[in-house]
Structure 1
Amino acid sequence: MQRQRKHLSQSFLLFVQLLCSMSVSQSNVSAELQYQDFLERVITFTLVTIPSCIFLFINGTMMFTLRSKSVFCDTCRYILLYNLLFADTVQLMISQVLFLLAVCRIRLTYPVCGTITRIATLSNVISPLTLLVMSLERFVAVCYPLRHAAIITINNTRMAVIALWAFSSLHNLTGVVLLLGFPFEKQETLQMTDFCSDLAMLLGPRSKDYNRGFTIFLFVSAGVVILSSYLGVIKAARSASTDKSSALKARNTLLLHMVQLCLSLSSTIFNPLLLLIIKVVTRDVFARLHKFLYVLIILFPTCLSSLIYGLRDQSIRPVLLHNLSCRIKFIMMQLNQT
C-alpha cells in the first residue's frame, strides 16, 4: 500500500513537471512569435517611413522652389504644377498615416476615418484633373501659339484651379451625403472593425456604385483629353509653320502626363486588388504583399511628379538643386549641434 502511494505520488510529480515544461515551451513559442511580429512591424515602419519622409522633403522643397521666384509664380504651367504637387503631397501624407495605422493595428472610429478619407479623396481627384488642364495648356501653346497668351492667362489659370477644387469638393460632398444615408444608429458602436481606408468607408451599395462610376468617368475623361491633345500636337508638328522643337517638347510632356494619369489610376485599384489577393493567399503572405504593393502602387507613383518635373525642367532644376543642398546642409548642422 505504501509502495502504491509512493508510486502514485511520483507519477503525479512527473505529470506536473510535464505540464510545467509544456506550458513553459508554449510560452516561449508565444513570446518568440510576438517578438518576430513586433520586429517585422518595426522593420516595415522604418523601411516605409524613411522613403516617405525623403519624398515629402523633396516635395516640400519643390513647392518652396515654385514660390521662391516671381517667374514661377507668374507662369501658368508652374501654377498648375504647384497645384499638382500640393495634391500629391497631401495624398502621400494621408496614405502614409493610414498605412502606419494599419501596420500598428490601430482601428479608428467611423467619424475620424471618414474625415481623413474625405481629405484623401479630395486630393485624389485633383491630380488627374490638374493633368487634364496641363495637357490643354500644352495643346494651346503648340496648336494656337498666337492666341496662347490671350487664352492661358494668370487669371484664367487661377480660375481653372478654383474650378478644379470646387468640382472635387462637390464630389466629396456627394460622397458625404451618401455616407450619411448609412444606418449608423443601428450599429452597437462607432468603432471600426476594419482598418481605416477609403474602401472601408464605402458603406452601402449606393456609395460603392457612385464611387466606381465617378472613378471611371474621371479617368476616361482625363485620358481622352490628354490623348486628343497628344494627337493634336503630333498633327501640328507636321505642319511647316510649327516650331519643331516646341512641338517635340510638348509631345514628350503629354506622354509624361499620360504616364502620370496611369500611375494615378493605379492607386485607385490598390484596395480592390487587396480584396482579390486576400481571398487566395494566407494572412501572413497577404501582410507582406500589402506592404510591397503599398510601396509599388501608392508610395513611388505619388513621388514621381516632383522628381520628374524638378530634374526635367531647365528653369526649375538649378534652383531646386540649390534649395535641396542648402536644406540638407542646414539639417546636418542642426544634427551636429545636438
Structure 2
Amino acid sequence: MDNLTEFPGNATSNKRLSVIIKICVVIPLFCVFLCCVVVMLHIFACHRQFLDSPRYILFAYMLINDTLQLLSSVLLFLFAMGQVKFALVFCIPLLFFSTATFRNTPLILAAMSLERYISIFYPLQRPAAWRSDRIWIIALSVWLVSAVFPLIDHSMMKHDPAVDVLSTPVICDPSVFNSSPVQALFGAAVSFLFFAVVAVIIFFTYVRILLETRKMRQDRESLSKALHTVLLHGVQLLLCIMAFTSPVTETFTVLHANWLPEDITFFYYFCFILFPRFLSPLIYGFRDQSLRSYIGKSFFCCSNRIKP
C-alpha cells in the first residue's frame, strides 16, 4: 500500500524532471541561434557589399524568418510545457504566425536556389526582380504566398461553441479546434503542393548546375560552391518535409517503442522543426568565406571588449 501511494508522486516528479530537461535543451540552443543571427545581421548592416548581393539579402531574409518562426514555436512550446492557458483571441494569431513562417522556409530555399541558377546562367541578363535593389519584390511575394494559405486554413477552423473567444482560457494548441475532413484535406494538399514545387525547383537547379560544372573548365570553384549550396538546400528541405510526416511517424513509434507520447512529440519537434532552423546560420553563414572572416572579427572584438 505504501508503494501504491507513493507512485503518483514519483510519476509527477518524473514528469516535472522531463519538462525541465526539455526546456534546458531548447532554450540554450535558441539563445545560441539568436546570438549567431544577431551577429550576422549586424555584419550585413555594417558592410554595404553584402546588401548589394541578392544572395546575401535572401539569406538575411531567411535568418529573420527562421528567427520569428523559432520565437513563435518556442513560445508555444513553453506554454505547452507550463500548461499556460489564455483566450483564443491571443492564441489564433500566434498559431497563424507560426504556421506562416514555417511554410515560408521552403519558399525561401526555392528562391535562393533560383538566385544561384540565375547568377550562373544569366549573369549579364539578370531579370529586374532578381537584382539587389528589387529583390524585396521576391521576398514580399514569398511572404504573401506563405501567409495566404494559413489564413484560409485558419478561417475554416471551428472551435467549441462553449468556448468564448475573448474570455475562456485554453491551452494554445491546434487540437483546440475541430478540424473538418475538408480542412484536413486542404491542409494536406497545400503541404504537398508547397514541397512538391520547391523540390522540383531545387532538383532542376541542382541538375543544371551539375551539368554546367562538367562542361565548363574555368571558374569551376564557384560552380562547385553553388552546387554544394543547392544540395544543402535540398537537405534542409528534406528535414522540413519530415515535419509533416510526424502524425504518421509518431503513431508508428508509439506502437513500436516504449516512449511516452509527449517524449515522442518533443523528439520530432526538436529534430524536424527546431534543428533545421538551427542549421541555417551554420550552413549558409559559417561556410561562406566572406561572412566567416567578418564573424571571426566580430567575436574577436567582443572578446577584447570583455577582457578589460
1:171 matches 2:149: yes
The gaps in structure 2 that reach 5 residues or longer are none
Once the two structures are overlaid, the 10-residue window that deviates more, 310-319 or 229-238, is 229-238
Contact 2:129–2:137 (CA under 8 A) maintained in structure 1: no
Contact 1:139–1:229 (CA under 8 A) maintained in structure 2: yes
Which amino acid letter does the alignment assign opposite residue 162 of structure 2? Q
* Inter-CA distance 207–321: structure 2 relative to 1 (3 Å threshold): farther
1:61 matches 2:39: yes
Q: Which one of the candidate residues 60, 73, 83 is aligned to 1:105?
A: 83
SS at match of 1:154: coil
In 2, distance between residues paired with 1:296 and 1:264?
A: 10
* Inter-CA distance 65–207: structure 2 relative to 1 (3 Å threshold): farther
Correspondence for 1:215: 191
Correspondence for 1:309: 284
Which amino acid letter does the alignment assign opposite residue 109 of structure 2? L
- Which residues of 2 match residues 170-319 of structure 1 at below 5 A? 170-179=148-157, 182=158, 184=160, 186-188=161-163, 195-198=171-174, 201=177, 203-240=179-216, 243-278=219-254, 285-319=260-294
Number of aligned residues: 306
Once the two structures are overlaid, the 10-residue window that deviates more, 241-250 or 251-260, is 241-250
* Inter-CA distance 202–52: structure 2 relative to 1 (3 Å threshold): farther
Contact 2:43–2:294 (CA under 8 A) maintained in structure 1: yes
Render the CA deviation track for 1:41-82: whole Å, top value 9, x for unaligned.
222222222222222222232222222211112211011001
TM-score normalised to the size of structure 2?
A: 0.86
Which amino acid letter does the alignment assign opposite residue 184 of structure 2? K
SS at match of 1:135: helix
Which amino acid letter does the alignment assign opposite residue 316 of structure 1? L
User: How far 1:96 moved relative to its partner?
Assistant: 1.4
Once the two structures are overlaid, the 10-residue window that deviates more, 101-110 or 114-123, is 101-110
* Inter-CA distance 32–228: structure 2 relative to 1 (3 Å threshold): closer
The gaps in structure 1 that reach 5 residues or longer are 1-21
| RMSD (Å) for aligned C-alpha atoms | 2.9
* Inter-CA distance 168–327: structure 2 relative to 1 (3 Å threshold): farther
SS at match of 1:147: coil
TM-score normalised to the size of structure 1?
A: 0.79
User: How far 1:111 moved relative to its partner?
Assistant: 3.1
Q: Which one of the candidate residues 8, 12, 33 is aligned to 2:11?
A: 33
Correspondence for 2:104: 126
Once the two structures are overlaid, the 10-residue window that deviates more, 52-61 or 121-130, is 52-61
Identity between Structure 1 and Structure 2 (%)? 25
In 2, distance between residues paired with 1:221 and 1:304?
A: 22
In 2, distance between residues paired with 1:202 and 1:319?
A: 50
User: How far 1:205 moved relative to its partner?
Assistant: 2.0
SS at match of 2:84: coil
In 2, distance between residues paired with 1:61 and 1:197?
A: 33
Contact 2:128–2:134 (CA under 8 A) maintained in structure 1: no
Contact 1:226–1:254 (CA under 8 A) maintained in structure 2: yes
In 2, distance between residues paired with 1:272 and 1:57?
A: 35
Contact 2:62–2:105 (CA under 8 A) maintained in structure 1: yes
In 1, distance between residues paired with 2:241 and 2:65?
A: 15
In 1, distance between residues paired with 2:175 and 2:248?
A: 8
In 1, distance between residues paired with 2:253 and 2:91?
A: 24
In 2, distance between residues paired with 1:109 and 1:277?
A: 33
In 2, distance between residues paired with 1:192 and 1:205?
A: 26
Which amino acid letter does the alignment assign opposite residue 289 of structure 1? I
